[in-house]
Structure 1
């Protein structure tokens, strides 16, 4: 009988960037646990771990994968994740490592836990904050990586995903990945709602892979610790983050931070007016950094329009003129395979410069949960089939 599973496809993924530089940048005797919803069935898993933005080696002392206690009636049974046959691994600064292929049967719709333990002082500089109904994890003080439940008194929730970058599953030939690339809009909820939409509507052969970093820009990045967590620029990020097994298409929704960040050195020494792009600057950046590389990989690339910013604290008419001109190119340029018109999905009918009623989170930049659902709903079916 032929093997049902025949290829590797990414089934979960995030970007890895610079974490927020708080007073404490090291952890010790720490367990991280991330629940992962399986979108596909498969027979093996492999795990990508990244220390892309770290400046010191990170030692993973123990790593396990297990069906979550909530999704199985059997005893919690962690399977060891190994690296060249070893049960621990060091991730050099600026690098990514790949685990061994781990035999682990997964059924679509199940949840499995990935648990990591760090015994010694560990630099926590490589990670990304994400939100959404399927996102987040927990950390515990102590070694509980093999425990079915984490102790309430030593455990807290976290939306920071440290070191765990991508999970691949050995699955059926028909399955594939759709990459969502962007900034905080994409680091927040709409990719999770798109995953839930796929499950609800029977698009069972696509995995939604999120590659997003809050604050990141296409053309520039910050070199100060105050804004380091705003991430690497597009030229650095895109080639690294398109390393996605089984990917067919990428949706790029990026550029609003290039427009809203500059305020002048008299206001903020790290945000000069010289950083302010024209619409042509953004267009040329997307063409040279994203479209060219996506084509080199054989990926289809869809544009995602930028959302309204009326009322945001740095809003002015000139910024909106740039956004509008850039959006017009994103909608009409033959460079893309199509456009996902997120702006149209969430903007007001009477005042298209602003969010529709109920679609503003309150800061006039990020959508509400309802608006994130609308963004997920507007993704064309052709990308999900």
Structure 2
């Protein structure tokens, strides 16, 4: 028997006799949508993303959350990334929406594709190709991807596996989620935060953000509950006020509650509120933390709260802001407001000078971790909390 051409989706692995209740949808990759400044007209986007959990019947979610006009996606394909902008031979498959190859997404809306039959593996780099018809208007995407994706010249190249018409982009556009159907014992973990959650200054294309390391740990530790991980961090985002992206409080419903299968939230946010004087008293942040927890609990979601990490040497550092960070961290540790706490501050601070990041965990800008720092953050999370 000959060897079949490589495909993204392999034959379904679970027994056909299993009841429908044994399965549900979870997120295997996710990013928070943002308002972008780019302009596009009749072009193809090839977005590169990495799965965190295996599952069947893969679907993609397209967002026009910040659009000012309806967007027509003329075609959409999903395959395994080859090299650069290429798609692995034989793996590119057409996606449909309500049985149609095209779909119109109104402004402020999102759409989920029909499922593709078969199984997608964990740790798979997918190439999702989207052809946008006409002027896209105000574009929705994600600015700090830490992953090179691709945009074409004018035309529809979604079905093609070669990358000749594509040029690199540091952003993701339109795609904000990849969903799979898997065992009901597997859930979605959402990581909500700012640039530290987003993975700013982590190594390009290597998936070394702390949520990536967390996903790997969850896969490797069989004594814990396996989970898909959605990273909804936004660089420069604030919790209590709009800035880069709407505030964490304002985007909570869309970026956390709307995620399929979510049962756990890992949450660290507030350092930008402190740095930029959006919050000048601890009560401004702790009241917001209580809101996040209450809204999550109303939907049966467990919340793991993270302490705020050191930022000595950052251009916005002052001793007054440092005192506020310490007060907020003390509240996070002692208030019992969260279901569990991960002490990111303790894990990453310099033991000789605790106001700053440990030098080996510092990317060089005094606030964002290095790859090693992101790994330490993930290692600080007690995986027994996911059982």
Q: TM-score, normalised by structure 1?
A: 0.86
> How do 1:181-196 and structure 2 match up within 5 A?
181-188=192-199, 189-196=209-216
Contact 2:232/2:255 (CA < 8 Å) preserved in 1? yes
Contact 1:46/1:98 (CA < 8 Å) preserved in 2? yes
**Alignment partners' CA distance in 1, 2:68 and 2:138:** 10
- 1:333 aligned partner: 335
> How do 1:122-201 and structure 2 match up within 5 A?
122-132=136-146, 135-141=147-153, 142-151=155-164, 154-188=165-199, 189-201=209-221
1:84-143 Cα offsets, whole Å, 9 max, x none, are 2211112211122222233243233443321111232213531113445xx442222243
- 2:307 aligned partner: 305
3-state secondary structure, aligned to 1:145: coil
Determine whether 1:7 maps to 2:24.
Answer: yes
Contact 1:130/1:136 (CA < 8 Å) preserved in 2? no
Contact 1:68/1:76 (CA < 8 Å) preserved in 2? no
- 1:62 aligned partner: 75
Contact 1:129/1:160 (CA < 8 Å) preserved in 2? yes
3-state secondary structure, aligned to 1:370: helix
Could you tell which deviates more after superposition, 197-206 or 181-190? 197-206
CA positional deviation for 1:291: 0.9
- 1:357 aligned partner: 359
Aligned to 2:266, which of 235, 251, 258?
A: 251
**Alignment partners' CA distance in 2, 1:323 and 1:104:** 48
Determine whether 1:207 maps to 2:224.
Answer: no
Contact 1:69/1:76 (CA < 8 Å) preserved in 2? no
CA positional deviation for 1:17: 1.6
Contact 1:259/1:276 (CA < 8 Å) preserved in 2? yes
Aligned to 1:221, which of 219, 238, 242?
A: 242
- 2:12 aligned partner: none
Contact 2:34/2:143 (CA < 8 Å) preserved in 1? no
**Alignment partners' CA distance in 2, 1:352 and 1:145:** 50
Contact 1:249/1:383 (CA < 8 Å) preserved in 2? no
Q: Which runs of 5+ in 2 are unaligned?
A: 1-15, 200-208
Determine whether 1:287 maps to 2:290.
Answer: yes
> How do 1:19-168 and structure 2 match up within 5 A?
19=36, 21=37, 25-69=38-82, 75-132=89-146, 135-141=147-153, 142-151=155-164, 154-168=165-179
3-state secondary structure, aligned to 1:211: strand
CA positional deviation for 1:28: 2.0
Could you tell which deviates more after superposition, 308-317 or 99-108? 99-108
Aligned to 1:371, which of 367, 370, 373?
A: 373
Q: TM-score, normalised by structure 2?
A: 0.85
CA positional deviation for 1:174: 2.1
Contact 2:48/2:149 (CA < 8 Å) preserved in 1? yes
Q: 1:113 to 1:374 in 2, by over 3 A?
A: same
CA positional deviation for 1:339: 0.6
Contact 2:75/2:158 (CA < 8 Å) preserved in 1? yes
Determine whether 1:16 maps to 2:33.
Answer: yes
Q: 1:32 to 1:281 in 2, by over 3 A?
A: same
What number of residue pairs does the alignment pair up?
355
- 1:261 aligned partner: 276
**Alignment partners' CA distance in 1, 2:225 and 2:335:** 30
